[in-house]
Structure 1
Amino acid sequence: MGIDRDIFQQTYGQDVVIAFEPIWERLVRLKLVDVHTESVDLTYLGKLFADEVGQQFYSDPMKRRMAKVDPALVSTTWPQFNP
């Protein structure tokens, strides 16, 4: 389960790792993703927290909308996601 870097490059005109470098660095540190030459893949732990991993890529407008929702409904119990 992952992102094919070539397909992302062809579709969006940039490498997915470069486009979201700070996010990937954080997710790698937390052992949630592995970055490879061909793809970016969820680790076993990343698969367990796939929803939270995806939330790291929300746009600013979406983050503002989500901030209005009861945090108990959307926040994770993993404190690294809620600094």
Structure 2
Amino acid sequence: MSIHALLACFSFYSAVYLIYRFFAIQPEPLYLVFAVILFICSWLVIPNHNNRKRREYDQTMRMGWDSIFFDPLIFWWRLFMFPIRLIFRFWLHD
């Protein structure tokens, strides 16, 4: 299991949730700043195609039976958005 793959998913989906929160719930400009920072973080965490860590990263992203329903980047978005939603729940008391 690649920590880089999990961190990339958490960063990406947290950024997506921050953008959603900015446009749909509360227009706080700081959300967009944090979203851009998280997008950059997810881009930096992903190894290059010629890096030896890329194989482990790809295996983590394709875990499961034939990766049809177990592709984390597509089907596990609720799990990867959970930490940022939990932070907002306790911090802002929505």
Q: Which interval holds the TM-score relative to the shorter structure?
A: under 0.3
**Relative CO higher for 1 or 2, CA cutoff 8 Å, sep ≥ 6?**
2
Name the structure with the higher helix share.
2
TM-score normalised according to structure 1 size: 0.24
Q: Which has the larger radius of gyration?
A: 2
Name the structure with the higher strand share.
1
